[in-house]
Amino acid sequence: MLLESNLRLALSQNQFQLYYQVQVNADGKFLGAEALIRWWHPDRGFISPAEFIPLAEETGLIIPIGQWVLETACAQLKQWEKSAATANLSLAVNVSAKQFQLTSFVETLSEIVARHQINPALLKIELTESAILDNIDATTEKMRELKKLGIAFSMDDFGTGYSSLAYLQRLPLNQLKIDQSFVRDLSHDENDATIVRAIIALGINLGLNVIAEGVETSAQRAFLIKHSCTAFQGYLFSKPLPMEEFMSLLEQEH
């Protein structure tokens, strides 16, 4: 069984690692990456975030874990600045509702950004619809404050929640991220194809950038491009990679 005490140990014994999955444009040019946490347990091996993030949220450990993710991501962005192949890449970081809803979140993130001396415009926070909706007024206010610093926002897993068009328009978002469940069957499921087209059109009409995740085939990519999607992430381009492998992927292409 996965226990709170294992999670605590994981933090103190540095068992977490960030992996990076590339995001590309329609020409295949690298735009940036999404940071995805990985846990290598000394006995149990790899444990998926899908398994431990919910436990971390329940126990409150998502706060120090999320803090570690932000610190590590910002340190990484600073490293990227130093190499021509990576200098202008953006980095998207998943932030849990519980962490984002802390009163101190804006202050904490501003401090991390300032301490690492990174360009805030290269940092993108991914929030889910439910994270935003949970506490819409406070969340919107925090997003506004962070956006003033230059930080960007992407709505993750878009289409799976309950966003109403009325407030979607009011949220200070930069990007919609089409959930991979819609992308998966794009080529054979007419409903999914319709949903994907609608999300792209919605994003464009709201002045938002739209990224598709879970792109695995060139047929999916072609459909998305045909319907004006401009950014892509998925196994077709690369799986999430540890930092060294991610860097060599970028240097190869440069």
Q: Which stretch binds Mn ion (CB under 5 A): 131-139, 153-161, 183-191, 194-202?
A: 153-161
| DSSP-derived pairing of the beta strands 231-233 and 209-212 | parallel
Q: How far is the CB of 109 from ligand G (least distance, A)?
A: 14
- 37 DSSP assignment: E
Find all residues with CB under 8 Å of 88, minimum gap 6, and list them: 122
Residue 126 binds to Mn ion (criterion: CB under 5 A): yes
94 binds ligand G (CB under 6 A): yes
Contact with Na ion (CB under 5 A) among 34, 126, 129, 157: 157
Question: Among 181, 184, 178, 194, which residue's Cα sits nearest to residue 229?
Answer: 178
The residue written with tokens 């202050």 in the block is 107
DSSP-assigned states of every residue in 200-235 = HHHHHHTT-EEEE----SHHHHHHHHHTT--EEEST
Which range touches ligand G (CB under 6 A), out of 44-52, 78-86, 111-119, 187-195?
A: 44-52
> Does position 129 bind Mn ion by CB under 5 A?
no
Residues in the interface with Mn ion (CB under 5 A) total: 3
Rule CB under 6 A: say whether 69 interacts with ligand G. yes
Is residue 99 near Mn ion by the rule CB under 5 A? no
Answer for which of 90, 96, 163, 220 binds ligand G (CB under 6 A) is 96
Q: Does residue 240 belong to the site contacting ligand G (CB under 6 A)?
A: yes
Q: Would you tell me which residues interact with Mn ion (CB under 5 A)? A: 94, 126, 156
